[in-house]
Amino acid sequence: MCGDVATVANRQGAWYVEKIETRKGILERTSPVGKRQVLAANIDLVVVVASIASPPLRRGFVDRALASAEWNHLPAALVFNKIDLRKTTEAADLTVLEKVYGEQAGYTVLKTSTVTGEGIDNFKNLIRGKTVALAGVSATGKTSLIQAIHPHLNLRIGAVNAKTTKGKHTTVSARLIPLENNTFLMDTPGLRAFSVDHIPKAELGYCFPEFEGAGRCRFRNCIHETEPGCAVLEAVENGTIDRERHLSYLKLLHEDNTF
Ligand SMILES: Nc1nc2c(ncn2[C@@H]2O[C@H](COP(=O)(O)OP(=O)(O)O)[C@@H](O)[C@H]2O)c(=O)[nH]1
Ligand SMILES: [Mg+2]
Ligand SMILES: [Zn+2]
């Protein structure tokens, strides 16, 4: 599997896998026909790359990718790229994003621009020595970010076309691109890797870290939707949980295998 650490031996000219080390973690999803698929092993970090403008920020995607990482027990971090466009009218408010994703949800939040070079060193440090899966919609700057720290690398990160009509089978295969300093980049087999359709509805709330901090709901099986005594809904009302995050949660809760 992509990302495995294996011991191999050569016997009479043929290579054999003798041992596969215990996997630290896996990235998995459910296929369109409901089969569990493991996409990669030993991913250390999921980095969600979003642009604050051009294309406009899609918080729904960000929240989906983060929830998927949580479900896979993978640490996640956020990179808001194209901050050179912060003064444009469509630009998302970075102060709000840092509060919601940094302070409230507890993720590492970086702000970068591959045009001005702002934050690029932070990005380099973030991924150093790790096996990293990048998640992000097209044109948010994933290839540009990697190229900014590896100018000599000839990358085609977006080359894997995961676009598929609903229900159609696609062969997904992942690949690791070695960078310097023992850093590996997973050439993600598309956004579907970060689907959430395999998360049981009763557990989706655990994939939003700030929900935990809201305290206990009256009902143990509360899905934080309309229940009386829901601590999450109260937190949304008093602003300690962001309303848009909660809306993303509700959207995922009612989603049926469409992505
Ligand atoms: N203004 C601005 N444009 C950027 C930045 N990073 C990338 N771009 C541009 O955004 C487009 C998409 O970048 P690319 O790296 O191919 O995105 P990917 O699809 O996520 O790999 C290209 O035209 C880049 O030149 C940035 O920080 N600021
Ligand atoms: Mg690309
Ligand atoms: Zn609740």
Three-class DSSP category at 117: coil
**Tokens coding 93:** 């408010």
In this structure, what are the phi and psi dihedrals at residue 133, rounded to the nearest 5 degrees? -105, 125
Q: How high is the pLDDT of residue 75?
A: 96
Asked whether residue 19 is domain-assigned, the answer is no
pLDDT tens per residue across span 183-227? 998 866 555 667 777 788 899 999 999 999 999 999 999 999 999
**Given its phi and psi angles, is residue 73 left (phi above 0), alpha (psi -120 to 50 degrees) or beta?**
left
Owning domain of residue 143: 24-194
Three-class DSSP category at 49: strand
Question: Are 148 and 52 contained in the same domain?
Answer: yes
Question: Are 221 and 161 contained in the same domain?
Answer: no
Question: Are 61 and 161 contained in the same domain?
Answer: yes
DSSP-assigned letters across all residues of 15-42: EEEEEEPPPS-EEEEE-TTS-EEEEEE-
What pTM was estimated for this model as a whole?
Answer: 0.88
The overall average pLDDT reported for the chain is 87
**Best mutation site among 114, 118, 149 for ligand 1 pocket (most ligand atoms within 8 Å of CB):** 114
Asked whether residue 181 is domain-assigned, the answer is yes
**Any residues with CB less than 8 A from the CB of 79 and at least 6 apart, and which?**
47, 48, 49, 50, 110, 111, 112, 119, 123, 126, 145
CATH number at residue 232: 1.10.40.50
Q: How high is the pLDDT of residue 192?
A: 60
**Best mutation site among 143, 144, 149 for ligand 1 pocket (most ligand atoms within 8 Å of CB):** 144
Question: Ligand 1: residues whose CB is within 6 Å?
Answer: 81-82, 84-85, 113-115, 136, 138-144, 157-158
CATH number at residue 50: 3.40.50.300
Q: Rounded to an integer, what distance in angstroms lies between the CA atom of residue 212 and that of residue 145?
A: 33
Asked whether residue 9 is domain-assigned, the answer is no
Tell me which of 93 and 154 has the higher pLDDT.
Answer: 93
Name the domain count of the chain: 2
Question: Are 217 and 129 contained in the same domain?
Answer: no
pLDDT over threshold 60, residue 168: no
211, HSE (Cβ side, Cα atoms, 13 Å):
24
